[in-house]
Amino acid sequence: MTGPTVNDERVVEELDEVWASVVDACQDLGEAQWELSTDCPGWTVKDNVSHLIGVERMILGDESPPRPAELPAHVRNSFGELNEAWVDARRGVPGDEVLAEFVATTTRRLEALRAMPPAAFDVVGWSPVGDVPYREFMGTRVMDSWAHEQDIRRALERPGGRNRAGEQVALERCAKAMPYVVGKKVAPPDGTTVVFAVTGVLGTRLAVGVSGGRAAVLDAAPAEPTVTITLDEEAFWRIGFGRVDGPTQVDDGRVVLTGDAALGRSVLAAMAFMI
């Protein structure tokens, strides 16, 4: 806990939990470990921490470093350019110093969040998912921070941080995106139903149906959906967040398709929705 608390916003405690877990994952690393590649395209363990620093410092109002003159292939938009500037500026900085900056930055953020009046979390403003209440914007920070924590942990072979607030938010965000994936990116004919059978502690069964050229979540899964995609919660968010290729996960046995396998593969190929 840092600073006085004037609100009881759960999202603030979720950020505290995830950021503490990032620090736990990065304890006592050698420089070679800081430079390990991760599932996040183009970024090392240290780069992931640098990115999290950058976003939180931008929210605090700190000036951004200059954008690199040459951008790597994984940068595809202006938001990515801004992210890369913070990462590039720390590539020559020792990992333990980057971690210390992360601790200092997140401490500042938690102090600021805990000092905000409750009504401030209802104020609608910009976020990566559109204009939403500040509370929802902070939910995207939980999701992003947790996703990068898992990138770090996988690279270091230090599992942890699972089945808690961060993963719950990530899975909910993936589920929310599936009608867009099915209806807009795949666009199958009316009457198509796709069931995502997500297994695990936080698993769920999500049915998406297409009607009138639009896809929506159904109240209940039909007895015989067009295709059922069975996968565990880790595969669900890793595919949705673009960390792994969906169809490859079928070939590797991580995903099982029942029904129209061709449609299932098309959905899996289109599931990556993160910017």
We report the CATH number of the domain holding residue 241 as 3.30.1050.10
For 252, residues 6+ apart whose C-beta sits below 8 A from its C-beta are none
Looking at the structure, tell me whether residues 14 and 127 fall in a common domain: yes
User: Which of 129, 161, 193 is the last residue in one of the domains?
Assistant: 161
Looking at the structure, tell me whether residues 204 and 147 fall in a common domain: no
Q: Which helix H or strand E contains 258, and what residues bound it?
A: strand 255-259
Looking at the structure, tell me whether residues 195 and 244 fall in a common domain: yes
- In whole numbers, what is the pLDDT of the chain averaged over residues? 95
**Overall residue count recorded for the chain in this entry:** 275
Looking at the structure, tell me whether residues 246 and 133 fall in a common domain: no
Domain extent, residue 21, equals: 10-161
pLDDT-derived band at 78 (thresholds 50, 70, 90) equals low
**pTM, 2 dp:** 0.92
In this structure, is residue 117 part of a structural domain? yes
The confidence score (pLDDT) of residue 3 equals: 56
Beta sheet of 227-232, edge-to-edge order: 214-217, 204-211, 193-199, 227-232, 255-259
The confidence score (pLDDT) of residue 19 equals: 98
The confidence score (pLDDT) of residue 1 equals: 45
Number of domain units in the chain: 2
Torsion-angle region of 269 (φ positive above 0: left; ψ -120 to 50: alpha; else: beta): alpha
Looking at the structure, tell me whether residues 109 and 87 fall in a common domain: yes
Looking at the structure, tell me whether residues 83 and 181 fall in a common domain: no
Looking at the structure, tell me whether residues 154 and 198 fall in a common domain: no
Q: Which helix H or strand E contains 176, and what residues bound it?
A: helix 165-180
What is the tens place of the pLDDT at every residue in 192-235? 999 999 999 999 999 999 999 999 999 999 999 999 999 999 99
What is the tens place of the pLDDT at every residue in 83-115? 899 999 999 999 999 999 999 999 999 999 999
In this structure, is residue 3 part of a structural domain? no
User: Which of 161, 193, 227 is the last residue in one of the domains?
Assistant: 161
What single-letter DSSP state applies at residue 44? B
How is 204-255 classified by DSSP, letter by letter? EEEEEEEETTEEEE-SS--SS-SEEEEEEHHHHHHHHTTSS-HHHHHHTTSE
